[in-house]
Amino acid sequence: MLVRIVKMSFEPSKIEEFLANFETVKEKIRNFEGCQFLELYRDRNSTNIFFTYSYWDSENDLNNYRHSELFKSVWAKTKPLFNGKPEAWSVDKLAILE
């Protein structure tokens, strides 16, 4: 399993537009083949910074999503709303405590 973390910083006036779009696409992303989990987080202090956190069965599944028409349409609507360069990490989960 691969964990994908993406950090996005938005123009404050564009946050509601981002959230509305995320609301319409979140189920499609979550139900994309290989995606097992999807969450959206918002920084408590810098409220224009958001993170997506997702689990993928494999790097191939993530890459299939990143090259899909769904991703292209999501990215086309999201990219113009940024006020900084997004950052992304693909990581392996080493430990979990519940």
Q: What digits encode the pLDDT tens for the residues 69-92?
A: 999 999 999 999 999 999 999 999
**What's the pLDDT tens digit per position in 37-72?**
999 999 999 999 999 999 999 999 999 999 999 999
Burial pattern 8-34, b for ≥16 Cβ within 10 A else e, equals bbbeeeeeeebeeebeeeeeebeebeb
What does pTM read for this prediction?
0.93
Rounded to 5 degrees, φ, ψ at 52 are: -105, 145
Average pLDDT over residues 30-43: 98
pLDDT in the model for residue 77: 96
Tokens of 10: 């938005």
CB-based contact 39:87 (threshold 8 Å):
no
CB atoms within 10 A of CB 81: 18
40/1 Cα distance (integer angstroms): 19
Task: Give the model's pLDDT for residue 72.
Answer: 97
pLDDT (0 to 100) of residue 19: 98
